[in-house]
Structure 1
């Protein structure tokens, strides 16, 4: 493991009494696969480790912000042709909107969870994605008026215009990628906090 990653993770409070590799393994499995916390508790007990599901949840809360920051620093550049769309997921029993973009190769550009599906939410998402990943040459969207209005607003303030394509079937890459998000959140029975 990289020394920078190890030193950043070791900053996590010392009251987490498990080996770092066990904590990272549980957190990785939790976010990468459609496993519930209780599934992970059972998997660890089969391996001889008594880990409660709430402990794994605390590890995720402590480690994921650190890992996200480190991974964002080392993220590979994404392509300049983006497919942008939003999907809905439940957070604490209420439907919210997860804005996502993938490049033409299917690599995730960025994501943002918002309470509303409107121009302001779409603009905030696009500005965040551009800030962290650079300007796209082309953005493909579906027939969403909010995404179009947000892109028009962003283009009105730019010298170099972002090309907008509103072609329903060119967005299939991101539409299919939504399935993976739904598959991961289903065992969680929705997210608990916004």
Structure 2
């Protein structure tokens, strides 16, 4: 079933401006105030709070309409978690990426135990529709305990050196965290990671030996699809 088209009813700004603001916010490590300044340089007077509203409202709608990589039973899941601090409170951002570097899911959780790992695996199976060929993690015991309960037949490799793909996937969110001088709330962080990785997946080519020309074509195709999804194609 195809997703319904994005609606811009009761918005006084043209769709091109709204889509471009959302694109800037999720595609690059920019704060809301920096997006506001970039728009102002183009003669568009809009507050950073309006950009926040657009990002929360239209970001998930855009992501639902974008084409996604089809899951396969030959996929390899790399799982890892990273500490995030908001108002002196620490929680864990759990992340799963595949062998090509595509982020499959992210979820904010309070703990770093088996229950948290189990919740991540259950979400992944629900979203992907099939288990992977192999699962690679660091030596945290919670992953092994959760795998035995959720998908016991899947091969599990626990080796810190083999999990660099998942660990490197934390870099974009860390850059955004610094640009925004930290996130303001846990609910806001969860909303952000439900859109930000999907936009990045759409634009960044897979981790493979591509020529500069092939990468350029990939990005042009991604921009064309973005304009089609946001109904801003000329």
1:66-81 equivalent positions in 2, closer than 5 A: 66-71=61-66, 74-78=67-71, 80-81=75-76
- Looking at structure 1, the residues matched to 43 and 11 of structure 2 have their Cα atoms a distance apart, in angstroms, of 18
Give the TM-score taking structure 2 as reference length: 0.72
- Kindly tell me: are residues 93 and 55 of structure 1, through their superposed partners in 2, closer, same or farther at Cα, counting changes over 3 Å? farther
Aligned counterpart, 2:231: none
Aligned counterpart, 1:144: 140
1:151-162 equivalent positions in 2, closer than 5 A: 151-156=147-152, 161-162=153-154
Structure 1: 5+ residue stretches without partners: none
1:1-194 equivalent positions in 2, closer than 5 A: 8-10=5-7, 14-71=9-66, 74-78=67-71, 80-91=75-86, 93-133=88-128, 134-156=130-152, 161-193=153-185, 194=187
**Cα shift at 1:173:** 1.0
- Looking at structure 2, the residues matched to 59 and 174 of structure 1 have their Cα atoms a distance apart, in angstroms, of 30
Three-state SS of the structure 1 residue aligned to 2:170 is helix
Q: How many residues align?
A: 182
Root mean square deviation, CA, Å: 1.9
Structure 2: 5+ residue stretches without partners: 188-234
Comparing 182-191 and 171-180, the one that deviates more: 182-191
- Looking at structure 2, the residues matched to 146 and 101 of structure 1 have their Cα atoms a distance apart, in angstroms, of 15
- Kindly tell me: are residues 18 and 92 of structure 1, through their superposed partners in 2, closer, same or farther at Cα, counting changes over 3 Å? farther
**Cα shift at 1:92:** 5.0
Provide Cα deviations, 1:151-183, integer angstroms capped at 9, x if missing partner.
122135xxxx01110011010111111111101
Three-state SS of the structure 2 residue aligned to 1:112 is strand
